[in-house]
Amino acid sequence: EWYFFTPRDRKYKHGKRPNRAAGDGYWKATGADKPVRKANGAKVGYKKALVFYRGKPPRGIKTNWIMHEYRVEEHPAPRPRVDNGADDMRVRSTT
């Protein structure tokens, strides 16, 4: 088994569709995303099976090469902290 970590390339600059072109062919997703869970059941990501096709879509020739793509669960961005100036306050005692 081999493992590779790569940034996810997009087919179109502002689109969501991944670019799966590779060498003289392309990787095609098969089936639905399957959740990947921690031992406590919390979802941490997804797994997707991909099959390699030689040639250009949609006339590529299916090969026996299979790859499993794993991706991390996308968490919403943390809520911005409201700055009420509390960090700028100082308490000083004078006698």
Q: What is the pLDDT of residue 15?
A: 86
Q: How many C-beta atoms lie closer than 10 Å to residue 27's C-beta? A: 20
> What pLDDT shows up at residue 93?
47
Binned at pLDDT 50, 70 and 90, residue 85 comes out as low
For residue 1, tell me if it sits in a domain: no
Question: Domain containing 26 — which CATH number?
Answer: 2.170.150.80
**Quick check: 60 and 53 in contact, CB under 8 A?**
yes
Of the pLDDT bands very low, low, confident and very high (cuts 50, 70, 90), residue 86 is low
Record the tokens describing residue 8, joined without a space. 């996810």
Q: Answer yes or no: is 10 within a domain.
A: no
User: Residue 51: which residues within 8 A CB-CB, separation 6 or more?
Assistant: 27, 28, 30, 62, 63, 65, 66, 67
Dist. CA 59–CA 28, nearest whole Å: 12
- How confident is the model over 27-80, as pLDDT tens digits? 999 989 999 999 999 999 999 999 999 999 999 999 999 999 998 877 665 666
